[in-house]
Amino acid sequence: MRNIEREGKYWTLTILRNGKDEDPGGLEDSEFRFGRFNFELSDSETDATRIPSGLMTAVGASGIEEEALETGFVVEMRDREQEDPRWVEFSSTATVSDISPWGRSRTLYSCGECSTLEFIKIHSCSSRPADLPRRIWVRACELPAPVVLWAMDNGVYDADKSRQMRLDYWLDSPGQTPAPRDDKVIPMPGPIGRPYGFMG
């Protein structure tokens, strides 16, 4: 128990490329699906699909842009400082709390001027909700082979059968791509009181 406390909390989020998004320009334009577990994988029709600027920073620090665009990546998070330079430190800047007892408070974390992540405090029926730490270290890693195989077997990477081109594919974009709306950016989960993995 002491070793676990010394190492701090560790938790993950799995990010998978959405196969129905066939014409991505780059990380900022690509659509993804996400989940802590395979049974809670987001629905690309109704849930957020864009990765936040903070995850783009983490992917860049790990040098896995190509892999992230092809299949996705795993986000590792810790509440203790890490020596590996691929870990990116984020500090809390603002918190919005829900007035209801089961409401989810949200905290914005930043690393530099334009790199942010929004974390949500996770409630659990089996354990006391863990408070969001003041600082979180984030690292992006390549997907393990079993997760890629699971995604392939479950149609996550399958293309849309109708394959309808978007209008912006045919038009010249006026320079910089606009930032995605807040409701389309993937939120990050806070820690929970037990270890877990995407495959169960």
The pLDDT assigned to 184 comes to 83
Supply φ then ψ for residue 25, to 5 degrees: -90, -35
Residues 137 and 89: their CA atoms lie apart, in Å, by 4
The pLDDT assigned to 169 comes to 45
Average pLDDT over residues 6-17: 90
- For the stretch 139-168, pLDDT in tens is 999 999 999 999 999 999 998 765 555 545
Tokens describing residue 56:
């783009």
Number of CB atoms found within 10 A of residue 121's CB: 19
CA distances from 75 to 2, 33, 43, 151, 161 (A): 25, 13, 19, 16, 30
Count CA atoms within 13 Å of residue 136 on its CB side.
Answer: 30
> What's the mean pLDDT when you consider all of the chain?
84
* Domain ranges, ordered by start, for the chain: 2-189
The pLDDT assigned to 101 comes to 60
Residues 188 and 77: their CA atoms lie apart, in Å, by 10
Let me know if 141 is exposed, middle or buried by CB neighbors in 10 A (0-12, 13-18, 19+): middle
pTM: 0.84
The pLDDT assigned to 113 comes to 78
The pLDDT assigned to 160 comes to 78
Number of CB atoms found within 10 A of residue 178's CB: 8
**Confidence class for position 84, pLDDT limits 50, 70, 90:** very high
**Confidence class for position 103, pLDDT limits 50, 70, 90:** low
Give the residue with greater pLDDT, 107 vs 25: 107
